[in-house]
Amino acid sequence: MKKLTLLRHAKSSWDDPVARDFDRPLNDKGKRAAAIMGKFIKRNNLAFDQILASPAVRVIETLEHVEPASGLSFEPQWDRKIYLASSVTLMDVLRGAKPDADHVLMVGHNPGLEDLIFDLVPDDGSSEARGEVEVKYPTAALAEMTLNIDNWSDIKDSCAALDRFTRPRDLDPELGPDYV
């Protein structure tokens, strides 16, 4: 069994006049949400053997706020393929995870992360959390899954159970429901 946690980057600023989408920074609400998710990671004793992350500015800044709040030391493997990737591409990236990594954190973007959950977790009505993802996978939300595989190279559709889905507004009501 492998564990996979997906973290969508926190809320970015559309007001910042950057030339490329890739360079958009977080806004203040996003910084606060990322720190709250870091505290959630700490409270729940989550630890990751490998972190695979998009190198987009908003992902880098998300991790910069999650890391100190989590009490963990992050050494992400930045992978440009994760930036705005499809579910198929994200699965390919995961197939290349370190074989000895039992718990991987992937940090990236929608709709790819959301689609990855839909591909990995069967729609059989057994997961209330999957239904919540179907409604919305907001920024800074964390999805924790158990994969019924022994090796990352074996990842495929319908091999996972969604154990928990946590949104920033679940931890701080001021971060919802207009928080997107």
pLDDT per position as a tens digit, 57-69: 999 999 999 999 9
pTM score of the predicted model:
0.94
The predicted pLDDT at position 117 comes to 97
Please determine, for residue 177, whether its predicted confidence score (pLDDT) is greater than 70.
no
The predicted pLDDT at position 125 comes to 77
DSSP per residue over the chain, as a string?
-EEEEEEEPPPBPSSS--SSGGGPPB-HHHHHHHHHHHHHHHHTT---SEEEE--SHHHHHHHHHHHHHHT-----EE-GGGTT--HHHHHHHHHTS-TT-SEEEEEE-TTHHHHHHHHHS--SS--HHHHHHHH---TT-EEEEEES-SSGGG--TT-EEEEEEE-HHHH-GGG-SS--
The predicted pLDDT at position 158 comes to 96
The predicted pLDDT at position 138 comes to 94
